[in-house]
């Protein structure tokens, strides 16, 4: 149960968001300070921010899930360097095929692999689709070789790589920049462009505050869900977001996750539940299942 607690001291009202959590038959309370003498119109916004911080992120995974992730990590770290290049080519092809395919690209897996690693351009495919595939590999290679951490500049550069030579003429000015126009995603309405920079700054601050506190899979899952909810770009949000999620995993020595396009509707469903019902667990279970089923670890 989550509720707002008000404590009065010296004539001032101090607001806390409180969550009761049952752990091992005991109930513990976690608190997040929201502010003092908050005006009514700010309370709801502060509550949402506090709920994100409280959530259940630090305790969302049970012992079995944590054990599974640790076993996957141990197995992954045992992968021999001798087959690195082979694993790289196969995963890069799969990841590019599925991530671009989720967004509507029609190249087959073979066409994707031949294009990326043999330079064979498929017939009867648009230049945009071909560039989407080539761009994705370029961005994938970029995150593999990048030694820094997630910053605004890193995200913008990644987006530039993903969308270069793929957008309509009127959208070219939006490449590598937070969007300045409203976008629409199915039945969801992403934030107004005027608040995108602020939302992204808050997400990056959250990442910085939690990158050494949360399990890497929790960190990557929450970051991905919030990034896609903000939808900071006019196009390429899904591809950029999945690259960022895998960058976080790779940086923390966990195998990357490929979301098959044949499971995109399940992916959309659990992602939406994380975004709009404050329930990250189904999305995390979805990712853990993919990790367990995946024979190729990269």
Q: Within this chain, do residues 10 and 112 fall inside the same structural domain, yes or no? A: no
108 with 170, same domain: the answer is: yes
Same domain as 149, residue 22: no
Q: Are residues 40 and 98 in the same domain?
A: no
In a domain, 224, yes or no: yes
| Full domain range(s) for residue 102 | 56-293
Q: Judge whether 298 lies within some domain.
A: no
Contact at 8 Å (CB) between 161 and 138? yes
pTM flag (> 0.75):
yes
Tell me whether residue 49 is in a domain: no
Q: Identify the band that residue 120 occupies on the pLDDT scale cut at 50, 70 and 90.
A: very high
Residues 89 and 194 in one domain: yes
Q: Are residues 40 and 180 in the same domain?
A: no
39 and 135 inside one domain:
no
Q: Are residues 145 and 175 in the same domain?
A: yes
Q: Is the pLDDT of residue 34 over 90?
A: no
Q: How many domains does the chain have?
A: 2
Find the CATH number of the domain harbouring 153. Answer: 1.10.3290.10
Q: Which of 25-39, 163-177, 278-292 has the lowest mean pLDDT?
A: 25-39
Residue 159 annotated to the active site? no
108 CB-near residues (< 8 Å, 6+ apart)? 97, 122
Whether residues 107 and 36 fall in one domain = no
Burial 88-105 (b: 16+ CB within 10 A, else e): eeebbbbbbbbbbbbeeb
Residues 134, 26 within the same domain: no
Q: Are residues 36 and 77 in the same domain?
A: no
| Per annotation, catalytic residue among 136, 159, 224, 231 | 231
pLDDT digits (tens, 9 = 90+) for 141-160: 999 999 999 999 999 999 99
pLDDT in tens, 126-144: 999 999 999 999 999 999 9
């Amino acid at each position: 149960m989550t509720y707002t607690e008000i404590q009065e001291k010296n004539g001032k009202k101090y607001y806390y968001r409180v969550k009761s959590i049952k752990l091992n038959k005991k109930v513990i309370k976690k608190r997040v300070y929201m502010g003092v003498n908050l005006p009514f119109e700010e309370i709801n916004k502060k509550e949402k921010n506090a709920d994100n911080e409280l959530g259940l992120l630090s305790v969302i995974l049970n012992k079995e899930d944590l054990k599974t992730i640790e076993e996957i990590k141990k197995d992954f770290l045992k992968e021999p360097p001798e087959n690195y290049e082979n694993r790289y080519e196969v995963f890069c092809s799969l990841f590019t095929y599925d991530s671009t395919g989720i967004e509507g690209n029609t190249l087959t897996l073979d066409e994707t692999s031949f294009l990326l690693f043999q330079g064979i351009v498929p017939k009867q495919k648009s230049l945009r689709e071909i560039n989407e595939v080539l761009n994705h590999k370029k961005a994938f290679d970029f995150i593999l070789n990048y030694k820094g951490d997630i910053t605004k500049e890193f995200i913008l550069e990644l987006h530039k790589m993903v969308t270069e030579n793929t957008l309509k003429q009127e959208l070219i000015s939006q490449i590598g920049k937070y969007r300045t126009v409203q976008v629409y995603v199915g039945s969801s309405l992403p934030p107004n462009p005027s608040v995108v920079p602020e939302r992204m700054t808050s997400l990056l601050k959250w990442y910085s505050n939690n990158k050494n506190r949360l399990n890497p899979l929790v960190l990557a899952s929450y970051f991905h869900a919030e990034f896609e909810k903000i939808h900071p770009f006019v196009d390429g949000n899904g591809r950029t977001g999945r690259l960022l999620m895998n960058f976080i995993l790779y940086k923390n020595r966990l195998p990357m996750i490929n979301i098959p396009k044949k499971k995109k509707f399940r992916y959309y469903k659990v992602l939406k539940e994380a975004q709009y019902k404050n329930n990250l667990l189904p999305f995390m279970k979805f990712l853990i299942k993919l990790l367990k089923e995946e024979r190729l670890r990269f």
